[in-house]
């Protein structure tokens, strides 16, 4: 099965047929050519690890062996393991839960999508992705700040299209910063396989009166870094994500919008979007 994620072809091979499901069905494309990333799962007995993990939490353990990073999911009862290699991921599905793995979503739960995106030159931002007149406006901020509300307001009052209600992949392609819909969208259940050049990133805050202003480099970086999905155990990931963000904010305007949950917030921000018609 071939999937188009963040503008790249990912090929998923599993030991038994699996269902794309409601989320991933939008990202399935006809199998063709050489994939950008190949993910191959096979049945396996549990792997043995002679050394201690380099990282562990309640869900997974990470090991390094011969320069390769291995991710084993399930601490009390391991479910499976994946090895990350250049252009390829090798997955090993353990017997205990093997019969229950029947969907693409289940296999992806073992992969660490944010880490795969990073290895493929992209990263995941917690945001509502709205396309307006061909450009992406990304509404970001802490959970509960009103990202979905602002996205719905732009759809209702300004002709915006909601591409994803909770996540976007971001990649720089030929000097152009692009946002891509992902099959992860929280409670919004909006996950379209579409993309757009990023016109603006908007950091949200709640207020009784609307106010918008452009954030300087340090403030913009801090706000976006907090909403970027980064593996805390990987120093290279953290360093590269910081580099990506510095490049992004040097090219794409980042605004702070202190917003009310109504059309006045749309009107306030619209005045700042120079590429958006005022009509």
Helix axes 217-226, 235-249, angle to 10 degrees: 130
pLDDT in tens, 54-89: 999 989 999 998 889 999 999 889 999 999 988 899
For residue 277, the model assigns a pLDDT of 54
Q: Assign domain 123-270 one CATH number from 2.60.40.10, 3.20.20.70, 3.90.1200.10, 3.90.228.20.
A: 3.90.228.20
| Mean pLDDT, range 194-207, rounded to an integer | 94
Beta bridge partners of 63: 70
Write out the two tokens for 20: 């794309």
pLDDT band at 264; cut points 50, 70, 90: very high
Tell me the pLDDT of the chain averaged across its residues. 92
The H-or-E segment that residue 118 falls in is helix 113-119
Surface-to-core class of residue 142, CB atoms within 10 Å of its CB (0-12 exposed, 13-18 middle, 19+ buried): middle
Q: What is the pTM of this model?
A: 0.92
| Helix (DSSP H) and strand (DSSP E) numbers for the chain | 7, 17
Q: What is the pLDDT of residue 275?
A: 66
**Buried b / exposed e along 127-139 (16+ C-beta atoms within 10 A):** bbbbbbeebbbbb
Quickly tell me which residue has 């580099």 as its tokens: 243
Backbone angles phi, psi at 271, to 5 degrees: -65, -25
Q: Which two tokens stand for residue 222?
A: 């801090």
| Segment 30-39 mean pLDDT | 95
Cβ neighbourhood burial of 26 (10 Å; 0-12, 13-18, 19+): middle
At residue 276, does pLDDT exceed 70?
no
- pLDDT for 279 equals 42
pLDDT of residue 194 exceeding 70: yes
Q: How many CB atoms lie within 10 A of CB 230?
A: 19
Mean pLDDT along residues 95-122? 92
Give tens-digit pLDDT for 132-180. 999 999 999 998 888 999 999 999 999 999 999 999 999 999 999 999 9
Q: What is residue 126's three-state secondary structure?
A: strand
Residue 14 phi, psi dihedral angles, 5° rounding: -125, 155
Per-domain residue ranges for the chain?
2-111, 123-270
Angle made by CA atoms 154, 253, 146, in degrees to the nearest 5: 35
């Amino acid at each position: 099965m071939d999937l188009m994620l963040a503008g790249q072809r990912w090929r998923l091979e599993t030991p038994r047929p699996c269902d794309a499901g409601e989320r991933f069905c939008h990202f399935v494309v006809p199998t063709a050519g050489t994939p950008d990333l190949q993910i191959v799962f096979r049945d396996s007995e549990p792997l043995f690890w002679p050394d201690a993990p380099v990282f562990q939490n309640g869900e997974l353990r990470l090991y390094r062996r011969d320069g390769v990073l291995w991710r084993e999911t399930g601490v009390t009862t391991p479910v499976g393991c994946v090895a990350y290699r250049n252009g390829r991921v090798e997955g090993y599905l353990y017997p205990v839960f093997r019969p229950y793995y029947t969907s693409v979503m289940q296999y992806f739960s073992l992969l660490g999508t944010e880490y795969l995106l990073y290895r493929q030159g992209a990263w995941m931002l917690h945001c509502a992705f709205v396309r307006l007149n061909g450009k992406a406006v990304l509404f970001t901020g802490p959970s509960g700040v009103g990202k979905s509300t602002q996205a719905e307001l732009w759809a209702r009052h300004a002709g915006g299209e909601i591409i994803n209600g909770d996540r976007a992949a971001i990649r720089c392609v030929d000097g152009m910063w692009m946002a891509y819909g992902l099959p992860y969208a929280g409670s919004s259940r909006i996950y379209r396989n579409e993309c757009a050049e990023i016109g603006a990133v908007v950091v949200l805050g709640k207020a009784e009166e609307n106010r918008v202003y452009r954030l300087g480099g340090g403030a913009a970086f801090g706000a976006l870094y907090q909403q970027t999905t980064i593996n805390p155990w990987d120093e290279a990931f953290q360093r590269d994500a910081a580099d990506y963000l510095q490049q992004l904010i040097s090219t794409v305007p980042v605004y702070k919008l202190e917003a009310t949950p109504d059309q006045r917030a749309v009107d306030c921000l619209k005045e700042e979007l120079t590429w958006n018609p005022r009509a």
